[in-house]
């Protein structure tokens, strides 16, 4: 079996992506992510690792007015991924953790979404990276 970037030991949090240019994304933001129960994810070995209780972060890509690139919500996985769908709950952050705050951070240089922004959903954050993100935004540590 080939070496894989992700395992249960190297997963700190899932990171799912959305485009701020999409109408459905803007509607989710306006609704405070109420009613979000799933997120589309490319079925791979990664999605096979999804289990209830794991943390998840929502990354907004693009440069839409009012929706700058960065982490806009957090939550948790609510069950196993199936057929390209990850079940989850999300809540918005009071203040997004912006890409511009993360890019130059020495402990986040290897953050997958920064290295490979066009990578498929889901991406991931390592335990060490998650710790740094929580230090930057304590809200990420709040239970959902």
| 13-141: CATH number | 3.10.590.10
At 62 the pLDDT is 86
Sheet containing strand 85-98, edge to edge, reads 38-40, 85-98, 67-77, 55-64, 13-19, 123-125
What's phi and psi for 30, nearest 5 deg? Answer: -60, -35
1, pLDDT greater than 60: no
Tokens 């918005």 appear where? 92
Q: What is the pTM of this model?
A: 0.93
Q: In 99-136, where do the E strands start and end?
A: 123-125
At 2 the pLDDT is 59
User: Where do the structural domains in the chain lie, given as residue ranges?
Assistant: 13-141
102, pLDDT greater than 90: yes
Taking the C-alpha atoms of residue 121 and residue 110, their distance in angstroms, rounded to an integer, is 17
pLDDT above 90 covers a percentage of the chain that reads: 79
């Amino acid at each position: 079996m080939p070496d894989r970037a992700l395992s249960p030991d190297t997963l700190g949090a899932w990171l799912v992506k959305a485009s701020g240019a999409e109408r459905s994304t803007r509607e989710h933001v306006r609704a405070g992510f109420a009613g979000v129960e799933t997120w589309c994810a490319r079925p791979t070995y990664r999605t096979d690792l999804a289990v209830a209780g794991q943390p998840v972060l929502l990354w907004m890509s693009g440069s839409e007015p009012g929706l700058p690139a960065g982490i806009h919500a957090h939550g948790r996985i609510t069950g196993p991924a199936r057929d390209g769908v990850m079940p989850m709950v999300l809540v918005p952050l009071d203040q997004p953790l912006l890409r511009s705050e993360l890019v130059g951070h020495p402990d986040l240089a290897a953050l997958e979404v920064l290295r490979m922004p066009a990578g498929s959903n889901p991406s991931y954050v390592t335990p060490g990276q998650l710790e740094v993100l929580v230090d930057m935004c304590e809200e990420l540590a709040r239970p959902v």
